[in-house]
Amino acid sequence: MSDVFRRIEIPIAITIVCTLLQIIPFYVNIQPLASTADTFRSWMILVATCATFVGAISLTLYNVKAIQRRSEDWYYSILVIVFMLAILLFGLPIPEAGLGDQNPQFSFLFVNILTPLGSTMYSIIAFFITSAAYRTFRARNIEAAIVLVSGILMICKNAPVMTTFWGPFVDIGDWIFDVPNMATMRAVIIGTALGAIALAVRTLMGMERGYLRGGGEE
């Protein structure tokens, strides 16, 4: 009996049913199908919410193992676990016990640790971009020169000090944005969409099995 449930056709059949259930109501208005599709979407949200706990458990296990094995930089794992537990404890949605997002300790951790860390991680990109621009923006050939000039003009358009110095930087930047950029991005979006359709068709036909047991072609 257990072999029946291990058959690969079962998850493929579930995938096909779920996919068709979402696609058909988009094109055809059949009320029972539409409400079933709504129910399935609600189930998916519940499943995803439960997966949050899987993430927390997985993170804990990974870091506990790192501490046990004294892996490289293992002491950072202690910080991860301590802060995860602290945020979890103070953020528990039990306002009667003084916990939750209005808890002062939770707010302190969020405002004074999480926010500056997140902002720093994002802002540090500015240093990498400056260094990368210096090293790679070289007019080595015609194509590179076009990219270089376009990039510089867009930088000028986005820097108020430059647009104030010479107003037409705005118009030139807008033209680059509206014409070459728009055309290229449309091609990228349409190409991606065609690829997604091809992937969906392969999945519906049971030919795409990358999401099953680690993958593998038919």
Partner 1 sequence: MSIMEKIQNIDRRWIYLLAWVAVLSPLLNPLGLPVTIGRDSTRYYNYITDVPDGSTIMVTFDYGISAMPELYPLTIATFHQLWSRDFKVVVIATWNQGPMVMDVVLGELNPAVRYGKVYGEDWIELGWVPQSETGMAALGTDIWGTKPVDYIENRQTSSFPIMQNIKTAEDIDLLISFETGTPGLPEWVRQWNVPYGTPIIMGCIGVMVPEVAPYLQTGQLGALIPGLTASAEYELLLKRPALAIAGVDAISMSHLLIIVLVIIGNIAYFMTRGKGGS
Residues 6+ apart with CB under 8 A from 20: 204
Stretch that binds partner 1, among 2-10, 36-44, 60-68, 197-205 (CB under 8 A): 36-44
The least CB distance from residue 37 to partner 1, in Å, is 8
12 to 6, 8, 24, 46: CA distances (angstroms)? 12, 7, 18, 21
Tokens 């359709």 — which residue? 197
The least CB distance from residue 106 to partner 1, in Å, is 10
How deeply is 157 buried, as exposed, middle or buried, from its count of CB atoms within 10 A (0-12, 13-18, 19+)?
A: buried
Tokens 């950072």 — which residue? 76
Does the protein bind partner 1 through residue 28 (CB under 8 A)? no
Question: Which token pair is 68?
Answer: 């046990």
Torsion of CA 20, 23, 26, 28, to 10 degrees: -40
Does the protein bind partner 1 through residue 127 (CB under 8 A)? yes
Tell me which of 114, 146, 199, 200 binds partner 1, using CB under 8 A.
Answer: 114
Q: Which among 200, 182, 212 has a CA at the least distance from the CA of 7?
A: 212
Our CB check for partner 1 shows the closer of 44 and 82 to be 44
Does the protein bind partner 1 through residue 167 (CB under 8 A)? yes
Stretch that binds partner 1, among 1-9, 78-86, 105-113, 202-210 (CB under 8 A): 105-113
Tell me which of 80, 163, 172, 206 binds partner 1, using CB under 8 A.
Answer: 163
Our CB check for partner 1 shows the closer of 67 and 100 to be 100
Does the protein bind partner 1 through residue 101 (CB under 8 A)? yes
The least CB distance from residue 77 to partner 1, in Å, is 22
Q: What are the φ/ψ torsions at residue 179 (nearest 5 degrees)?
A: -105, -75
How many C-beta atoms surround the C-beta of residue 3 within 10 A?
A: 6
Task: Provide the binding-site residues for partner 1, judged by CB under 8 A.
Answer: 26, 38, 41-42, 44-45, 48-49, 52, 93, 95, 101, 107, 110-111, 114-115, 118-119, 121-123, 126-127, 129-131, 133-135, 137-140, 148, 152, 155-156, 158-164, 167, 170, 174, 177-178, 181-182, 184-186, 189
